[in-house]
Amino acid sequence: SSEVLEAIENVIQGVLQSLAQKKAPVLTVANRADWRNIEFKDSVGLQMIPHCTTKQIRSDCPRSATRFALMLKILSMIYKMVQSNTYATKRDIYYSDTVLFGSQSAVDRIINDISCMLKIPRRSLHILSTTKGFVAGNLSYTEEDGTKVNCTCSATVCIIKQNHLNRKDLISHAKFILIVEKDATFQRLLDDDFFNKVSPCIMITGRGVPDLNTRLLVRKLWDSFQIPIFSLMDADPHGVEIMCVYKYGSVSMSFEAHHLTVPSIKWLGLLPSDLKRLNISKDALIPFTKQDQNKLASIQKRPYIAHQPLWKKELEIMAASKLKAEIQVLTSLSQDYLSRVYLPNKLQFGGWL
């Protein structure tokens, strides 16, 4: 915490020095969204280059003055929370003054900019993410108040919390981890008691694009157990993008890649080539929208795809067919096809990329 306070004090000192010299104060932040500031490294994923281009948030420019003020406001809130050892969610910060902040996304962007500017991980700033991820399966731990939590019985779905991420007492006999894109598929696998039937495993869902806590937990489990991690996504550009976030990280959080990415994650399904192999009727598939085409074209250009020739082939199949499929399409073969046939066969015969 002293490191956080010192980093904030240095920023404020810079602002005061500028004022003392009758200059307009300026905050300098990295250009997080610029692909030219990102490099791809096989062992880490997308990471920010050491000497990246920056942008100035000026206090004397109409376009950036509001942002400058909001950054100082949130810095002061963080400073008070670290001093008093209290915490707030991003939503708490937004709702403390909705008129001032304007939108939740503005708050989220500023918090990431501050984290990047101070070179301090967001969780050390005493700001909690509102968690939406779930974990279930062969995993147990003890809560801070001494409560023992066991995710092994299929009725127990644990919400992924910030305090899971510092745990030293995680216990598991899982043979693998399965990341599931959607909540509906996750619940279906729970109903079918999948994680007990095939072999003990841990299932995680970020319920769409994963939040920070879900990504941190996947990384924590990988560091703790070093077991294979598979991803089960829709066969569409959005599903591929979500899988890439878990595996290689995102451009906007590339400054934290070392704590967030797990480059060993494998693509288990749903593969575009599976649709033909399983004779899925074309009537059950969904035609691409213009947005899908653009998203796929953007993914195909990313630096990590060149390192994944088999992924590249799958994306080419998707691009040529201009059709996408949700995991639920497997129910057209039989109600429990996913848990009874598809996943056991894939896991047994190595059907992943």
Q: Copy the structure tokens of residue 122.
A: 């967001």
Q: Copy the structure tokens of residue 257.
A: 């890649």
- Are the beta carbons of 174 and 138 closer than 8 angstroms? yes
Say how many Å lie between the first and final Cα of the chain, rounded: 42
% helix, strand, coil for the chain, step of 5: 50, 15, 35
Sign of the C-alpha dihedral, residues 268, 254, 88, 148? positive
Please give the biggest Cα pair distance in the chain. 74
Our answer to whether residue 95 is catalytic in this structure is yes
- Are the beta carbons of 5 and 76 closer than 8 angstroms? no
Among all chains, which residue has been given the structure tokens 């403390």? 96
Residue 214 makes CB contacts below 8 A (sequence gap 6+) with 131, 132, 133, 160, 204, 205, 206
Sign of the C-alpha dihedral, residues 248, 251, 107, 53? positive
Q: CA-based angle 168:171:172, to the nearest 5?
A: 140
CA distance 1 to 85: 9
Alpha helices, DSSP H, located in the chain: 2-20, 65-84, 90-96, 98-101, 104-118, 183-191, 194-197, 212-225, 237-248, 257-260, 272-277, 290-300, 309-321, 337, 343-349
Single-letter residue type at 165: L
Which one-letter DSSP state was computed for residue 156?
-
Instruction: Considering the candidates 79, 87, 95, 304, report the single residue annotated as catalytic.
Output: 95
Element (H or E) spanning 126, and its range? none
**Catalytic residue list:** 95
